[in-house]
Amino acid sequence: MGLQFLLLGALFLSPQGGDFLGDGWSAALVAIIYLLATTVLLFAGVALRPSLRVSPIPLEGAPLIKHGIYRWFRHPMYLSVALYGIGMTLDRANALSLILLIGLVATLVTKARFEDQLLRERHADALIYQSEVPGIFGRSSKNA
């Protein structure tokens, strides 16, 4: 979890690059990505409210959340973090930002797999849910 925030911070502090699409297109695209990331994060927070926590380890006795945005994405919080990272990478447009984004995505995918495993251990219907609902980038769980 700390690695995720470290990578996001490094992305935020990485040096600015050029306007990769020219004529202000990158600024508009980045704004749209940030808006989408914020929207996903807010919907996830509302749906996850009874079980919300920063750690990927589910709260003891918490239900398996399958409503709201969780009907369409298993890990919308991780998706929103990835979108923020993509936005920052496009905004900075440099090799360092791309490397940091790759690290961030790898961290999020690893956390999602870990969380999926814990949910399967705690909830009898988690395997079915994971096989039906896409993960961070549209793939179903490897173990589903």
Sign of CA pseudo-dihedral 79, 80, 81, 83: positive
Token reading at 7: 């990578």
CA 108 – CA 114 distance, rounded (Å): 10
Give me the amino acid identity at 2: G
Sign of CA dihedral 14, 84, 101, 89: negative
Read off the pLDDT of residues 20-39 as tens digits, 9 standing for 90 and up: 555 567 788 999 999 999 99
Q: Is the pLDDT of residue 140 over 70?
A: no
pLDDT digits (tens, 9 = 90+) for 45-64: 999 887 777 777 877 888 89
Q: Give the predicted TM-score (pTM) of the model.
A: 0.85
Q: Which two tokens stand for residue 2?
A: 């700390």
Say how many CA atoms lie within 13 Å of 6 toward its Cβ.
Answer: 5
